[in-house]
Structure formats: C-alpha cells, structure tokens
Amino acid sequence: MEWEGLNTGLDAEELELELEIQDRDDQESEPKMEFELAEGTRLDVGVTEVVGKSRSFIQGLIEDGHVLVNGASKKSNYKVRTKDKITVILPPPKELQVEAEDIPLEILYEDEDVLVVNKPQGMVVHPAPGAWTKTLVNALLYHCRNLSGINGVLRPGIVHRIDKDTSGLLVVAKNDLAHQGLAEQIKAHSMARRYLAIVHGVVFEPSGTVEAPIGRDPADRKKMAVVFQNAKEAVTHYKVLERFRDFTLIEARLETGRTHQIRVHMAYLKHPVLGDPLYGPRKNPFGLQGQMLHAQLLGFQHPRTGEYMEFSAPPSELLQKVLEGIRRDGLIS
C-alpha cells in the first residue's frame, strides 16, 4: 500500500497507487514528524531530504497543509529561518478499489489458471493516475473476478505488461499458483516474447543483439535510457524482416523485460520506433501519436500442467495500414 490521492505529476508507469490526502480534521490522529532545518533552506527541498519522498510529493503535502512551519502553512519556496519548527503530518494509506467495466476483450485462450488476451493499442494495462478507468484490469474484472492478488488491488492478475500504445499479447494469472509459475518463467528468461516494430532508418545488419543496461534517464525522469549506474541488465535480439528507403520492419525478441526496453534499445541504435512520442522524432510522416510496436508472439509453460503453449496475434490495424502505406508509396529500397 502507498500514499494515495495526491497529484504528484508522475505518470501512470511511475506511480502504482494514487496518493490521497486526508481532511485537516483528521490530522490529530495522523503520525507526525517534527524537526528543524538549516537556515536558508528552501522548505520543499529540506523536507524532501528528511522524509525521503519525491519532491513533487512533498510539494503536494505542503499545498494541502500537511507541512507546517511553527504551526502555520507556508509555500514550497519558503526559506527556513533559525529555530523554525517543521511539522510534517503523514496521512495514513487508504485502500483503493478498482471497478469492473464491461469492455470487450479479444481473448485467445482461457482456462481455470490463465488467460491470454490481445490488448489493443491505446489501452492502459492497469489503473494509475491519469488512467483510472477503461484499462485492461477494469475489463478483466468484469470478465472474470477470480484473478491473482499477488500484485495488489490495482494490478490483479498482471504478471507482465506492455505499454499503452503497444498492441499485442499478454498472459494473465487467474490465481496465485499461476502467477508464481509465470513470474518464475519471466525471471528465468524462459518465456518467449517476440515483437514486430517499424523503426526509423535502414538497419543494414540482418540481425543483432543489444546488450545495454537500462535505468531512469538522469536528464528526464519520465524516460528510461541506456545508463551504467542505477541500471538493470537488458538484452534485446532483433532481425530484419523488410527494408525500405526510410524505415525497416524488424522482429525483436526480449531476453529481459525492462520498462520501454525495445523502444530504448532501438533509439540507442539510432533507429527509434516509428511514432514513438518519447524516444523518436517529434514529427513523423504519418502523424502518429503512438509507437508502431506489436507483441506478436507469446510462449510459456502452463503453470499447472507444464505444457508449452504458444500464441500469436496479427499486428494492429493501424500498424498494418502504415506498413501498407510505406510499401504502396514505393519506399522499398
């Protein structure tokens, strides 16, 4: 459980639970922290260092009156004076509920343990700030209420995820046994995951492997990047399927599963995914608002029977339309 309901400005992939500030009337029963800061310290900066939360989280606490200086509210940019007494009132966590919604799902397979779904482009996998409804989880809860609870109330059944604007296959766990079995396969890199992507530029090598660690971009916290500190191992294998004058159609195979892995690794090679709003050019010739990336193949051992199961799904209509346009316009090299 986390702090809930406070608008921190974090995106849906960074913040798992909404932060909710309780009414000032409840403050007497809430835990407090009291301390002093060095003279001249900016209030939000000093409190952030002491409390250990993000600066945006602390700024929200200050705005809602949960940070007091000598018993009074101040602004985030207040400069602390000698002997100022800082009080931080910590609101208790509050359980969140996710509503079931009647949203159509393309289900490729289902039994008592697992469910394989073809997620459409534009659908968020699980609720988070900015996307509390119309997510895959909302739809799953309507379709089947018996989902594994290992990942908490906001991510029932979710073993792995794909980005909002990436279409394609996901396996969902309907109980904890299935969740544990699938999670072990992901950890062991034994789950087969292959993607189709249209990338910028001509990739001349017929195939290759990107082995470069991925972590938070130090220059932009909303992005990931190839970095060599505070990063995790990341390995992506790719092969060329078709080359065009300005683009290349590739198949990418994940060995690891880091956030935005294919998008980051292809941008690292100077071949960002077409339409990628974070890692690609700001403008593209098709006016796309999301990346041309599709989780085409998914294979795993059934967590109960041990049988190997493999599924495939055709690319989204949009990806196929863009690909046909590239071919039709004579862009083949």
Q: Is 37 within 8 Å of 80 (Cβ atoms)?
A: yes
Query: What distance in Å separates the CA atoms of residue 3 and residue 19, rounded to the nearest whole number?
Result: 4
Contact 137, 128 (CB under 8 A): no
- Torsion angle, alpha carbons of 30, 36, 42, 46, to 10: -70
Three-state DSSP state, 129: coil
Task: Give the type of residue at 47.
Answer: V
Surface-to-core class of residue 70, CB atoms within 10 Å of its CB (0-12 exposed, 13-18 middle, 19+ buried):
exposed
Nearest 10 degrees: CA dihedral of 65, 67, 70, 75? -70
What is the pairing mode between strands 214-216 and 192-200? unpaired
User: Is 163 labeled as catalytic in the residue annotation?
Assistant: yes
Give CA–CA dist 150/177, Å, rounded.
Answer: 10
Active-site hit among 113, 163, 165, 276: 163
Structure tokens at 224: 């990931």
Distance in angstroms (rounded) separating the CA atoms of residues 271 and 279: 10
- The position carrying tokens 């191992």 is 233
> Nearest-CA neighbor of 85 among 71, 74, 96?
71
- The residues assigned a catalytic role are 163
